[in-house]
Chains A and B, each alone.
Chain A
Amino acid sequence: MIAPTPEQVLMRDSLIQLLGDGVSRMRGADGGPPDRAVWVDICEAGWPGLLLPEASGGWGGTAIDMVMVLEGAAATLAPEPLIAALATAPLLAACGTEPAHALLANMLAGQTVVLPAEMAISPLAPDGGFVLFDAPWADVAVIGAGQGDGFRLVALSSAEMEDAPLRRTIDGGAQRILSLAAGAGRLLAEGPKAAQAFYATRDLLRLGAAASLVGLVARAFALTVEYLGMRSQFGQPIGAFQALQHRAASMHVAHAAAWALVCEAALAVGGDKERVACAMAKAKASATARGVLKDCVQMHGAIGFSDEYVLAPLFRRAVTLASAFGTPEACLAELGCEG
Chain B
Amino acid sequence: MLRIETEAEQAFRREVRDWYEAELPEDLRDLTFRPEPAQALGWYRRLSQKGWIAPHWPKAFGGMGASPVEQVILMEEAARIGAPELPTQGLNQIGPILQRFGTPEQQARHLPAILNGDVIWCQGYSEPGSGSDLASLRTRGRVEGDEIVITGHKIWTTWGHHADWIYALVRTNEELPRRQGITFILVDLKLPGITRRPIRTLADECEFCEVFFDAVRVPRANVVGILDGGWNIVTALLDEERIQLGAPSHALRALERVRRMARALGPVLGASGRLRLAEAETEVAALTAAFLQTPTEAEQGRTPDASSLKILSTETTQRVLDIAQELAGAAAPLKSPASVGGTVIDFSELFLQSRRLSIYGGTNEIQRGLIADRVLKLPKGKRP
Contacts and interface: CB of A to CB of B under 8 A. Distances in A.
Given A123-B264, A123-B265, A233 B132 contact: yes
B330 A297 contact: no
Interface stretch (B81-89, B161-169, B230-238, B362-370): B362-370
Q: How large is the interface on A (under 10, 10 to 19, 20 to 34, 35 or more residues)?
A: 35 or more
Interface string B355-367: 1101110011100
B333 A121 contact: no
Point out which of A120, A123, A234, A327 has the most chain B C-beta atoms below 10 A from its C-beta.
A123
A323 B332 contact: yes
Contact of B200 (A122, A307, A330): A307
A69 B301 CA distance: 62
A242 to B, nearest CB: 9
Contacts of B272: 329, 333
A297 B384 contact: no
Nearest to A123: B264
Contacts of A298: 355, 358-359, 363-365
A26 to B, nearest CB: 13
Given A234-B132, A298-B363, A316-B202, A123 B345 contact: yes
Interface string B262-278: 00111010101000000
Contact of A323 (B132, B333, B358): B333
Interface stretch (B36-44, B111-119, B334-342): B334-342
Contact of A169 (B133, B327, B329, B334): B334
A322 interface: yes
Q: How large is the interface on B (under 10, 10 to 19, 20 to 34, 35 or more residues)?
A: 35 or more
Given A169-B335, A302-B131, A122 B328 contact: yes
* B contact patch SS: mixed
A328 to B, nearest CB: 8
B331 interface: yes
Contacts, number: 144
A330 B328 CA distance: 11
Contacts of B330: 118, 120-122, 131, 175, 323-324, 327
Contacts of A315: 202, 355
B201 A306 contact: yes
A308 B200 contact: yes
A166 B360 CA distance: 35
B289 interface: no
6 contacts: A123-B340, A170-B334, A243-B368, A302-B126, A302-B359, A320-B333
Given A121-B268, A123-B268, A301-B132, 11 more contacts: A122-B331, A124-B331, A126-B341, A167-B335, A170-B335, A297-B359, A306-B202, A316-B202, A319-B352, A323-B328, A327-B329
Closest 6 CB pairs of A and B: A320-B333, A121-B329, A234-B384, A307-B200, A123-B264, A233-B133
Interface of A: 31, 118, 120-124, 126, 131, 167-171, 175, 233-236, 241, 243-244, 290, 294, 297-298, 301-302, 304-308, 312, 315-316, 319-320, 322-324, 327, 329-330, 333
Interface of B: 126, 130-133, 136, 155-156, 199-202, 204, 208, 261, 264-266, 268, 270, 272, 322, 325-336, 338, 340-341, 345, 348, 351-352, 355-356, 358-360, 363-365, 368-369, 384
